[in-house]
């Protein structure tokens, strides 16, 4: 009956453009990773937490290792255990490494540190679905934009714009998918073990963990996510997150 939570903080943060790992960037007064860890702990869903840190990062002042050490020092009497692993070159590699460190748990939540403001209710909805028997569960929200399919054409009008619309997808049937995503540990581990044989192009197309299970015929349940669960990717996301943290809605 043990639940593990993987917190992925091994990304470079290139698109955010601060020249440091994204999870180390300050949101309010604390690094993004610290917010993410506080969210996991506040939700009370984890027996074990494994944090994937950037490949090659040496422990020391001003590092994500230090963020984890400080967090641990402040939670000495906690019921959960927390450890770190070195992340991989891709998100999926980082997940696979963290899963190896979680051997023995029954269920696992995989969470992006880049989503530091996920409400505790979302963690709990995902964890509850697993306890109720789901082998895979993802939090998602309705899509608010109209979504169109485009094709890049190199025809005569390319000087106006090389992109042309080829179709529409009914918005009602679409969901924007977030983390934490929840899984039976055995199902996710098996899927990742098999995924190491994908070629680079196939691996690139796998942008979340649920996809790996969908392709194996495992039903993926959808529960309500939250607009607070935004993923910090570009500078505007950081401004939005600062607003959520301080604003009247917080």
Work out whether 181 is an interface residue with ligand C5P (CB under 6 A): no
User: What's CA 26's distance to the chain center, in Å?
Assistant: 18
Task: Determine which residue in the list 11, 116, 182, 225 makes contact with ligand C5P, applying CB under 6 A.
Answer: 11
List the alpha helices (DSSP H) in the chain: 32-42, 64-73, 91-100, 120-131, 185-195, 200-205, 209-214, 235-246
Per-residue binder mask for ligand C5P (CB under 6 A), 188-227, x = binder: ----------------------------------------
| Integer Cα distance of 67 and 173 in angstroms | 40
Total number of residues binding ligand C5P (CB under 6 A)? Answer: 18
Rounded least distance, CB 233 to ligand C5P, Å: 5
Task: Determine which residue in the list 5, 10, 109, 241 makes contact with ligand C5P, applying CB under 6 A.
Answer: 10
The pair of structure tokens assigned to 85 is 């692993």
Task: Determine which residue in the list 37, 41, 50, 52 makes contact with ligand C5P, applying CB under 6 A.
Answer: 52
Helix axes 185-195, 91-100, angle to 10 degrees: 130
| Integer Cα distance of 36 and 44 in angstroms | 13
Q: What is the largest CA-CA distance in the chain?
A: 68
Task: Determine which residue in the list 20, 66, 88, 206 makes contact with ligand C5P, applying CB under 6 A.
Answer: 88
| Integer Cα distance of 195 and 215 in angstroms | 11
Work out whether 63 is an interface residue with ligand C5P (CB under 6 A): no
| Integer Cα distance of 74 and 236 in angstroms | 31
Per-residue binder mask for ligand C5P (CB under 6 A), 112-141, x = binder: xxx---------------------------
Task: Determine which residue in the list 4, 31, 39, 87 makes contact with ligand C5P, applying CB under 6 A.
Answer: 87
Q: Which residues bind ligand C5P (CB under 6 A)?
A: 8-11, 22-23, 52, 87-91, 94, 112-114, 231, 233
């Amino acid at each position: 009956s043990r639940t593990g939570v993987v917190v992925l903080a091994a990304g470079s943060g290139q698109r955010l453009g601060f020249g440091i790992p994204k999870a180390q960037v300050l949101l309010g007064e604390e690094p993004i990773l610290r917010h993410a860890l506080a969210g996991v702990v506040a939700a009370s869903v984890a027996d074990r937490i494994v944090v994937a840190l950037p490949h090659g990062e040496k422990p020391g002042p001003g590092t994500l290792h230090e963020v984890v050490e400080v967090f641990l020092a402040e939670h000495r009497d906690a019921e959960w255990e927390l450890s770190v692993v070195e992340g991989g070159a891709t998100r999926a590699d980082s997940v696979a490494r963290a899963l190896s460190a979680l051997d023995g748990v029954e269920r696992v939540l995989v969470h992006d540190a880049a989503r530091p403001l996920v409400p505790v209710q979302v963690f709990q909805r995902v964890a509850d679905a697993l306890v109720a028997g789901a082998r895979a569960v993802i939090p998602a929200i309705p899509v608010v934009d109209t979504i169109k399919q485009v094709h890049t054409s190199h025809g005569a009008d390319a000087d106006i714009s090389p992109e042309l619309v080829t179709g529409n997808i009914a918005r009602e049937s679409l969901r924007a998918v977030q983390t934490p995503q929840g899984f039976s540990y055995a199902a996710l581990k098996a899927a990742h073990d098999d995924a190491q044989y994908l070629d680079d192009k196939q691996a690139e197309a796998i942008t979340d963990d649920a996809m790996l299970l969908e392709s194996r015929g495992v039903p993926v349940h959808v529960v309500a996510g939250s607009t607070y669960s935004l993923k910090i990717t570009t500078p505007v996301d950081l401004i939005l997150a600062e607003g959520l943290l301080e604003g009247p809605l917080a």
